[in-house]
Amino acid sequence: MPAVKIAPSVLASDLGNLNHECQRMMDCGADWLHMDIMDGHFVPNIVMGAPILQCVSKAVPKIFMDCHMMVSEPLKWIKDIAAAGGASYTFHIEATDDPLEVVRQIKAAGMRASVAINPGTPATEISDALAKAVDMILVMTVWPGAGGQKFIKECMPKVAELRARYPDLDVEVDGGVAPATISACADAGANVIVAGTAVFRDPKPDAVIQYLREQCEQAQARIREERERILRGDKVEGAGMVGTQTYLSGPAEAWVHPRAYIQPPASS
């Protein structure tokens, strides 16, 4: 499984002191900074853009800007975001009819490519071809467009399914993630954690970042061990449920772990 990365969401920062806030998070141990760009069309709000990213990039050395593009025309902004210092470009699958072309242009611009799915979009919308092309999949755990929303726990089966299908791919969660909800995200297999208010508004953001990281690392060890056991034929409770039960039938708890989607090898 890929390394854990904590990406505080800048939308929850003091935007009037943006450079300082970004540097503060880097000093507190953040791996990435999650930059929300909204166009007023795909979502109602308008937030940030390439000129602001460029200012941050110049002011905060070695920053990795994880750019979440909540825009209706993802192709339109690729070159501008790359020129402004964006390192990763996440577009919404709901905003394009040709996600592979969007990925191609993102990578041609020198950025990591990531695709996001909204709470109402099933994980099955991510084809194997698309997953192979991208560097990361973002599962929204709130509806995009505003910070401070309540975590949607019903999105966790999607995270678990994607982790089982793509064990070496970055899987990101964004929305309502905090110390109180991190265990659900971690147990489902998320390794890139976007947290806004929980980090920026805490008096000890470094401790919050460390806690989020530790929870994910501990869960990753469990998930890795379970996967290895399942694939070598050991009995693991709940393994392969997707092959024997109707999706999301039975106890809800069973479907929020990657083991439910990993098929044991066929008996000889």
Q: How far apart are CA 19 and CA 150, in angstroms?
A: 27
Is 234 a catalytic site residue? Answer: no
- Rounded Cα–Cα distance for residues 180 and 209 (Å): 13
CATH of 5-255 among 2.60.40.10, 3.20.20.70, 3.40.50.720, 3.40.50.980: 3.20.20.70
Question: What pLDDT, on a 0 to 100 scale, did the predictor assign at position 266?
Answer: 77
Is 60 exceeded by the pLDDT of residue 179? yes
Name the residue with tokens 């755990």: 141
User: What does the pLDDT read at residue 250?
Assistant: 61
* Domains of the chain, residue spans: 5-255
**Catalytic (active site) residue 174:** yes
pLDDT in tens, 211-249: 999 999 999 999 999 999 999 999 998 898 887 666 656
The yes-or-no verdict on residue 268 having pLDDT over 60 is no
Residue 255 — φ and ψ, nearest 5°?
-90, 0
Q: Which of 152, 109, 115, 149 is nearest to 132 (CA)?
A: 115
State yes or no: pLDDT of 254 exceeds 90.
no
Q: What is the pTM of this model?
A: 0.95
| Rounded Cα–Cα distance for residues 30 and 8 (Å) | 7
Using DSSP's 3-state secondary structure scheme, residue 138 falls into strand
The token pair that represents 238 in the structure block:
């709940």
Helix (H) or strand (E) holding 188: helix 182-188
* pLDDT recorded at residue 33: 98
Binding site residues for substrate, as ranges? Answer: 9, 68, 145-148, 176, 196-197
Residues tagged in the binding site annotation for a divalent metal cation: 34, 36, 68, 174
Per-residue model confidence as pLDDT tens digits over 138-158: 999 999 987 677 999 999 999
